[in-house]
């Protein structure tokens, strides 16, 4: 099977959730003997030097890139208020990509085109004009739901209105393109249910993101009693919002009730104002070059998400590393883990304080949650396990 993977940005290096999801798709299919080509935007925000990509990756996936400045332009965003369509989508509808998609399809015999994220759906018409390949939308999340949840949590009325406006435009686009697809591969059951409820009658499945579980194996036992951490892209609004809430509503109580507890905040795009929290017990490190090393030297991962959609791949990584995950229900959406034995769910400040305090006081309990979570990761999220599911689904759509 020949697969063309159209990506919002480079899957390489696979340092964050979105890149890991795209990387794992390519690797899962490659392991099963399929030919995968990658065509991706190389955006200003996530720019990579193509020459830095490992020779092995270039040989396996022949990645090609189209440079794009998708940054928000205030004047264009303002004009969009009086126009039609989603500004979020238009930022990624580039003529250069349409040309490259056409060229790639004409030069190759492609069986399936996988569109990674909603923002690659503007290229459906170009694919149809140049190929008989089946088109699969891999939905990393339900994009408009993220903006709806952000709007609901926003305290500024004007900003809340604008976020709601963006959500409505995105929802209209999401519903409009459903009938143009040959199949949808959601990442969570919740997202799959939304597509079904929205009237999609085509091939539809929910397949989680797979990871190389062995990569996260470590002899490091972690520091269960006095160390917790957050790791995630801080230029993604739901992460910044969640950490802000944690620092304002949860950390003050933990700081007084757990005298030796330390907190590490890490992730690219760390907003400047978070550095004001730095102290002897709060370590704001920003970007870390090796996320696996960072995780395996600490025991308790916090995921205080109040908004967002899709699967938090950092949770899967944390499970594979044997970390103890404390998350909101929204943060744990789509994750196959049992609350109380493989993950700890807390949906308000009081609950967060209670479960983290329990972990602080009961090291054995804390570490057992991490041991159980690693076993779950091996059973449900290995590249081999997920790859077989993807393989079966794509073959069923081709037939």
Reduced to 3 states, what is the DSSP secondary structure of residue 166?
Answer: helix
For residue 349, the tally of other CB atoms under 10 A from its CB is 18
Cβ atoms of residues 192 and 360 within 8 Å: no
How far, in Å, CA of 167 to CA of 160, rounded? 10
Going residue by residue through the chain, which has 399 residues, state the pLDDT in tens, using 9 for 90 and above: 999 999 999 999 888 888 989 999 999 999 999 999 999 999 998 899 999 999 999 999 999 999 999 888 888 887 788 888 899 999 999 999 999 999 999 888 999 999 999 999 999 999 999 999 999 999 998 888 888 888 888 889 998 999 899 999 999 998 889 889 999 999 989 899 999 999 899 999 999 999 988 888 764 554 545 789 999 989 888 899 999 999 999 999 999 999 999 999 999 899 999 999 999 999 999 898 888 888 888 899 999 999 877 788 899 999 999 999 999 999 998 898 999 999 999 999 999 999 999 999 999 999 999 999 999 999 999 998 999 999 999 999 988
d(C-alpha 124, C-alpha 130), whole Å = 10
Long-range contacts from 151-159, C-beta under 8 angstroms, 24+ separation:
152/307, 153/241, 153/306, 153/307
Torsions phi, psi of 231, nearest 5?
-135, 120
Q: Cis before residue 13, ω within 30 degrees of 0? A: yes
Q: How far apart are CA 306 and CA 266, in angstroms?
A: 18
Alpha helices in 40-179 (DSSP H): 55-61, 74-80, 87-90, 95-107, 124-130, 143-153, 157-177
List, edge to edge, every strand of the sheet that includes 324-327: 282-286, 262-266, 227-231, 300-303, 324-327, 344-345
Q: Residue 117: which region, alpha, beta or left (left: phi > 0; alpha: psi -120 to 50)?
A: left
Q: pTM for the complete prediction?
A: 0.82
Q: Is the dihedral of CA 279, 282, 287, 289 positive or negative?
A: positive
Sign of the alpha-carbon dihedral angle for 90, 91, 96, 98: negative
Spatial contact of 34 and 26, defined as CB atoms under 8 Å apart: no
Contacts of residue 165, defined as CB under 8 A and 6 or more positions apart, other chains included, come to: 81
Integer angstrom CA distances of residue 327 from 127, 331, 366, 374: 40, 6, 14, 16
Return the CATH class of domain 2-210+383-398: alpha beta
Residues of the chain with CATH 3.40.50.2000: 2-210+383-398, 214-380
Which of the 8 DSSP states describes residue 328?
-
Closest C-alpha to 230, from 183, 264, 187, 186: 264
Interatomic CA distance for residues 226 and 258, integer angstroms:
8
Sign of CA dihedral 64, 69, 72, 74: negative
Architecture of domain 214-380: 3-Layer(aba) Sandwich (3.40)
Q: How far apart are CA 387 and CA 239, in angstroms?
A: 29
Whole-angstrom Cα distance, residue 135 to residue 113? 5
Beta-carbon contacts of 71 under 8 Å, excluding residues fewer than 6 positions away, are: 44, 45
Work out whether the CA dihedral 87, 92, 93, 95 comes out positive or negative.
positive
Both tokens assigned to 34: 């399929």
Collect all residues with Cβ–Cβ distance below 8 Å to 290 and sequence separation of at least 6: none
Measured distance CA(139)–CA(374) in Å, rounded: 26
SS3 content of the chain, % helix, strand, coil (to 5): 50, 15, 35
- Tell me how crowded residue 81 is: count the other CB atoms within 10 A of its CB: 10
Between 363-380 and 349-361, two packed helices, what is the crossing angle to 10 degrees?
110
pLDDT of residue 202: 93
């Amino acid at each position: 099977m020949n697969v063309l993977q159209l990506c919002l940005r480079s899957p390489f290096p696979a340092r964050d959730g979105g890149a890991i999801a795209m990387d794992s798709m390519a690797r899962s299919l490659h392991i099963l003997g399929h030919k995968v080509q990658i065509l991706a935007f190389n955006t200003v925000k996530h720019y990579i030097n193509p020459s830095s990509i490992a020779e092995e990756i270039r040989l396996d996936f022949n990645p090609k890139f189209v440079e794009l400045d998708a940054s928000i332009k205030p004047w264009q965003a303002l004009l969009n208020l009086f126009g039609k369509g989603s500004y979020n989508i238009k930022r990624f509808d580039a003529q250069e990509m349409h040309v490259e998609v056409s060229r790639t399809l004409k030069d190759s015999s492609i069986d399936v085109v996988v569109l990674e994220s909603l923002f690659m759906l503007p290229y459906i018409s170009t694919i149809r004009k140049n190929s008989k390949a089946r088109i699969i939308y891999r939905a990393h999340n339900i994009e408009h739901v993220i903006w709806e949840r952000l709007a609901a949590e926003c305290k500024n009325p004007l900003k809340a209105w604008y976020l709601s406006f963006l959500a409505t435009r995105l929802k209209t686009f999401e519903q409009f393109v459903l009938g143009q697809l040959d199949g949808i591969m959601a990442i969570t059951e919740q997202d799959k249910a939304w597509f079904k409820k929205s009237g999609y009658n085509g091939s539809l499945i929910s397949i989680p993101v797979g990871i190389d579980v062995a990569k996260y194996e470590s002899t490091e036992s972690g520091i269960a009693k006095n160390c917790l951490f957050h790791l995630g892209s801080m230029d993604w609004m739901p992460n910044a919002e969640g950490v802000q809430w944690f620092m304002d509503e949860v950390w003050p109580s933990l700081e007084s009730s757990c005298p030796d507890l330390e907190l590490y905040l890490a992730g690219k795009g760390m907003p400047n104002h978070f550095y004001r929290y730095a102290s002897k017990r709060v370590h704001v490190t920003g970007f870390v070059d090796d996320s696996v090393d960072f995780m395996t030297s600490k025991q308790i991962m916090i995921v205080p998400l109040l908004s967002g959609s899709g699967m938090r791949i950092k949770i899967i990584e944390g499970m594979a590393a044997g970390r103890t995950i404390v998350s909101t229900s929204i943060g744990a959406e789509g994750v196959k883990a049992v609350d109380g034995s493989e993950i700890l769910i807390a949906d308000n400040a009081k609950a967060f304080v209670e479960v983290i305090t329990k972990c602080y006081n009961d090291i054995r309990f804390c570490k057992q949650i991490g041991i159980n979570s690693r076993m779950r990761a091996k059973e449900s999220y290995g590249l081999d396990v997920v790859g077989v599911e993807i393989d079966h689904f794509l073959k069923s759509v081709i037939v």
